[in-house]
Amino acid sequence: MSQPFRLNKEGLINRNKKISFTFNGKKLFGYEGDTIASALIANGIHLVGRSFKYHRPRGFFGAGVEEPNAKLQVEFNGHSEPNVNATEMELVEGLSATSQNCWPSVNFDVGAINNFLKMFFPAGFYYKTFMWPKSFWYKIYEPFIRKAAGLGVASIEKDKERYEHKFEYCDLLVTGSGPSGLASAYAAAKNGAKVIIAEDKPRFGGTLLTDDVSIDNLSGKDWAEKIITELKSMPNVTVKNRSQVFGYYDHNMLVMFERVSDHLEKKSKFTPRQRLWYIRAKETILSTGSIERPIVFGNNDTPGIFLSAAAKEYMKVYGVLVGKKPLIFTNNDSAYETALEFKKNNVEPIILDTREEHSSELIDEAKSKGIEIRFSHGVIVANGYKKVKSAKIGKLNKDKNSFEKIETVDCDCICVSGFWTPSVHLASQSGNKLKYEEKIDAFIPDKKKQHETSVGAANGSFTLEESLKHGFENGSNLSAKITETKTEISIPNVNEKKYGAHDKFWCMPLPKNENPKRFVDFQNDVSVSDIEIALREGYRSIEHVKRYTTLGMATDQGRTSNLNGLQLVSNIENKIVPEVGHTTFRPPFTPITIGTIVGREVGMEYMPTRKTPMHEWHEKNNAVFVDAGAWKRPRYYKLGSETLFEASKREAKNVRENVGICDVTTLGKIDIKGPDAAEFLNRVYTNAWMKLPVGKARYGLMLREDGIVMDDGTTTRISENHYHMTTTTAQAANVLSHLEYYLQIVWPELNVNVVSTTEQWAGAAIAGPKSRDMLSKLYPDLDVSNEALPFMGYKEAEFFGVPSRIFRISFSGELAYEINVKSDHGIFMWEKMMEVGKDFGNQPYGTEALSTLRIEMGHVAGPELDGRTIPSDVSLNGLVSKKKDFIGKNSLGREAFNVESRQKIVGLIPIDRKSSIPEGSHIVQDQNAKLPNPKLGHVSSSCWSVENNNPFSLAIMKDGKNMIGKKFFAVSPLKNKTIEVEVISSHYVDPEGKRVRS
């Protein structure tokens, strides 16, 4: 079990703990502290995936978040997760990783034929090819694209893990724990500020872990450890690793993704897998560092080609060599550090430097250590298919557009450095307009937009001394404004190597007659020639070039490709980069799991469940529930093997014949008090309210200002200045806001208060011809005669010792009452009603029977009051006062509302008296007419009329009042039904309304 590329002692991994895992079925091991990438490289494995479009072999390129290639399907702790970044995912015991986007295997991938057909897959291939014939799209093109494209496979198993959301507030949020981040956090913490410092990697310190520097005579790594230890000990500081701040939103809201337990072998049942932090920060330090960018050359995507800093990180952090015969290809000094690190580990690198021969501290050191340096040299093309075997290198001429000499050298890896790109994503997301910094050939943040302050490499300062200085200064100044305390901190002494100037060189020319692919964007397979084609075809705006070629649109967001792409466009266009501009950075910075976004809001926790006080009784008595907003309401009570249809028919029939009770707790209830309450109601409702006596209820209709019906319900005058309003279940919250709007803003002079009492009262309706008899048994001491408690009457009385309110109101059209008691007494009331009701044939009824009863009576509800109907449309114009003003009155005069052929509610019965008419059916004159068949109306509500024993529906129909007696077709393409219907009055049962008054 030897690991051929593992160094003997270097690295920060725990060599005492071996971890076994599999890759494409092969059993391997690594150490605690390894990533999947470092463990695979230690085992000499580089070929891990196939590219998106051409299925070219791909290996690792980076060592962290910048990785464009190594996305694996990973199974661990019972998950299967696609597109996992192998360079970020920590190794855990038993983990199993497999390659994506290849079939049958990563070694032999059928899709690689695309690579040989690449002349047929140019930029915009999909746009050009799949346009015609149109009929091919669904059956041929789309399935093909779906099969060929895409990365990993999403699991279809239910995610059993726990995800959490957390809301946090702080004075200063520091994003990144490199030198500038640590310095900022430390200075702010010393000033007493509430600080959160977030690091996306497991280890704190950023470049301090890999750079050969010292701070106050400590190594960078030791200094980082010292600062972090001190920060952790401070009560005003939250220190978080494995935490990526991925989004910068409005008003300084930042969102962070914490990988809480993916790296743990065993965890408690209550430990979440991942956590999403919403952090509202007063100030934000963006110390996100920089990402190395490559130099573009032929076949630069071959496995074994790395970013130079990544190669160094593998050695320093993981004790892993990316190769034993490295070529270092650079245009700047930083890659020399990688070369020196190789040399330290007894590996002989060759440095190819695009710059002309010159001298700097690092060049001199490399020379003194005997490292071979070739100036004015670069890699032209990498050789090898599944792994780099050699490289064709060339000596560049003075203009760097052709070669003076070309030769081939053996190598097993190429470490490339094209200088550094500040990570400006968060700054850009905050709204910061970036500016182009000529000195470093990259964009850096411009003037602050929110409270973001970029420091260190993220702000284009690439020296440790500057980074620390910026960090301490900004951390101190920003926090001092908040805490009004300033603790003096002496800036430590720094020892670092001085870098010389870099070469503004980013793409190798090609020798004549050679045309290997030169990739700019690895993840989306965008090459230099693709961008050239896009420009040749007339795309100019960088945003268009991006979309046409998909440059920078992959999950890595073009971290290693954006600037090279811009350089290419600016060269071809003969513009400078800032003229070309940059594309928009959008959150999330790194892909995050759906589970984390959802958090705990799944299943039962998706939304609150509202249950009435009688809910348990309903459950025990075989109620089948239906959702009404957040409420659970009994839809029907199932007896034996009854269906919904049978049960609702039985329940409704029993109400018409005997008596039934229905839980109406969910109706919205609003308590209205104040000397101006009557005047207020008079303005809110369309009908007159000034003369309603105490102890009486009235049905009321509410409009919006545009004349459309908003809601209906009854309101009862409890006492002189006290009213009890009911609303529909669905509109309860809207009506309350509506009333508050008018009281607070429009008529603040009215002395009225409103408050929701929906949850305070439990309600039960008693409906049916025997309801009075039953009521008299429920209230033996009360006169419940028609004279003493008439229709729309109201009484307060004790219900077996419990205070209660009795309303004589009816939704079913039968003689009916509604009893309200305090919620705590709801179940007592209900059980008493069931007990007393036995003698009268009482049965509980659900919402389905309730609908049947109201539909055949022609009472309107939500489906008719659908936000498109005015009072006359639903035959409620009798409730519209002509004498007084009210909300929406002025709109009722609109011409369209008053045309003769205006839509109106009607009733429909099928000619065969048997076929139920599906709700939503369209009413047409001629069922065979050519499409689009003119629509005359729609079916809003349907039921089986228990009174007449045949189907009955309500419909809103054009010129409805003149359609009575005519025949039409109700067509439901959804249910594939066409039913011949006759139009009748919407009041199918008891049109005179005698029963409610009986």
Question: Which residues here bind another protein, judged by CB under 8 A?
Answer: 167, 249-253, 278, 280, 431, 449, 683, 705-706, 737, 740-741, 744-748, 884-885, 890-891, 893
Rounded to a whole number of angstroms, the minimum distance from the CB of residue 746 to another protein is: 5
**Is 549 in contact with 123 (CB distance < 8 Å)?**
yes
Rounded to a whole number of angstroms, the minimum distance from the CB of residue 707 to another protein is: 9
Can you tell me the distance from the alpha carbon of 268 to that of 271, in angstroms, rounded to the nearest whole number? 5
Which amino acid would we find at residue 683?
A: R
Can you tell me the distance from the alpha carbon of 670 to that of 781, in angstroms, rounded to the nearest whole number? 29
Give the distance from CA 359 to its chain's centroid: 52
Using DSSP's 3-state secondary structure scheme, residue 434 falls into strand
Rounded to a whole number of angstroms, the minimum distance from the CB of residue 438 to another protein is: 29
Closer CB to another protein, 742 or 791, in the complex: 742
Rounded to a whole number of angstroms, the minimum distance from the CB of residue 594 to another protein is: 20
Using DSSP's 3-state secondary structure scheme, residue 924 falls into strand
Rounded to a whole number of angstroms, the minimum distance from the CB of residue 616 to another protein is: 28
Closer CB to another protein, 477 or 756, in the complex: 756
| Token pair belonging to 62 | 């980076």
Closer CB to another protein, 386 or 449, in the complex: 449
Length of the chain, please?
Answer: 998
**Is 305 in contact with 416 (CB distance < 8 Å)?**
yes
With vertex at residue 78, the alpha carbon angle to CA 77 and CA 79, rounded to the nearest 5 degrees, is 95
Closer CB to another protein, 381 or 892, in the complex: 892
Rounded to a whole number of angstroms, the minimum distance from the CB of residue 756 to another protein is: 9
Can you tell me the distance from the alpha carbon of 374 to that of 767, in angstroms, rounded to the nearest whole number? 97
Closer CB to another protein, 589 or 807, in the complex: 589
Can you tell me the distance from the alpha carbon of 340 to that of 371, in angstroms, rounded to the nearest whole number? 8
Can you tell me the distance from the alpha carbon of 403 to that of 253, in angstroms, rounded to the nearest whole number? 52
Rounded to a whole number of angstroms, the minimum distance from the CB of residue 682 to another protein is: 10
Rounded to a whole number of angstroms, the minimum distance from the CB of residue 425 to another protein is: 19
**Is 5 in contact with 315 (CB distance < 8 Å)?**
no
Cα→Cα distances 820→73, 572, 807, Å: 59, 79, 8
Using DSSP's 3-state secondary structure scheme, residue 116 falls into helix
Rounded to a whole number of angstroms, the minimum distance from the CB of residue 738 to another protein is: 10
Can you tell me the distance from the alpha carbon of 694 to that of 677, in angstroms, rounded to the nearest whole number? 13
- The helix (run of H) or strand (run of E) holding residue 813 is none
Closer CB to another protein, 26 or 251, in the complex: 251
**Is 299 in contact with 382 (CB distance < 8 Å)?**
yes
The Cα diameter of the chain in Å comes to: 115
Can you tell me the distance from the alpha carbon of 784 to that of 175, in angstroms, rounded to the nearest whole number? 72
HEC string of 691-704 equals CCCCCEEEEEEEEC
Closer CB to another protein, 94 or 675, in the complex: 675
The position carrying tokens 């609150």 is: 608
Closer CB to another protein, 91 or 684, in the complex: 684
Can you tell me the distance from the alpha carbon of 521 to that of 307, in angstroms, rounded to the nearest whole number? 14
| Token pair belonging to 186 | 């430390």
CB-hemisphere CA count at 13 Å for 720?
1
Closer CB to another protein, 143 or 431, in the complex: 431
Cα→Cα distances 830→39, 611, 616, Å: 67, 15, 11
Rounded to a whole number of angstroms, the minimum distance from the CB of residue 736 to another protein is: 8
Closer CB to another protein, 889 or 966, in the complex: 889
Closer CB to another protein, 345 or 891, in the complex: 891
Can you tell me the distance from the alpha carbon of 954 to that of 956, in angstroms, rounded to the nearest whole number? 7
**Is 917 in contact with 910 (CB distance < 8 Å)?**
yes
Phi/psi for 811 (5° steps) reads -105, -25
Rounded to a whole number of angstroms, the minimum distance from the CB of residue 578 to another protein is: 23
Rounded to a whole number of angstroms, the minimum distance from the CB of residue 171 to another protein is: 14
**Is 468 in contact with 491 (CB distance < 8 Å)?**
yes
Rounded to a whole number of angstroms, the minimum distance from the CB of residue 599 to another protein is: 13
Can you tell me the distance from the alpha carbon of 834 to that of 841, in angstroms, rounded to the nearest whole number? 10
Can you tell me the distance from the alpha carbon of 100 to that of 71, in angstroms, rounded to the nearest whole number? 7
Can you tell me the distance from the alpha carbon of 26 to that of 20, in angstroms, rounded to the nearest whole number? 10
Rounded to a whole number of angstroms, the minimum distance from the CB of residue 276 to another protein is: 13
Spatial neighbors of 895 by CB under 8 A, at least 6 apart, are none
Using DSSP's 3-state secondary structure scheme, residue 18 falls into strand
Phi/psi for 315 (5° steps) reads -70, -50
Closer CB to another protein, 347 or 743, in the complex: 743
Closer CB to another protein, 755 or 929, in the complex: 755
Closer CB to another protein, 253 or 533, in the complex: 253
Rounded to a whole number of angstroms, the minimum distance from the CB of residue 884 to another protein is: 8
Closer CB to another protein, 641 or 737, in the complex: 737
Closer CB to another protein, 40 or 743, in the complex: 743
With vertex at residue 14, the alpha carbon angle to CA 11 and CA 17, rounded to the nearest 5 degrees, is 145
Rounded to a whole number of angstroms, the minimum distance from the CB of residue 976 to another protein is: 40
Can you tell me the distance from the alpha carbon of 276 to that of 286, in angstroms, rounded to the nearest whole number? 19
HEC string of 388-433 equals CCEEEEEEECCCCCCEEEEEEEECCEEEEECCEEECCHHHHHCCCC
Closer CB to another protein, 449 or 902, in the complex: 449
Rounded to a whole number of angstroms, the minimum distance from the CB of residue 273 to another protein is: 24
Rounded to a whole number of angstroms, the minimum distance from the CB of residue 19 to another protein is: 40
Closer CB to another protein, 538 or 748, in the complex: 748
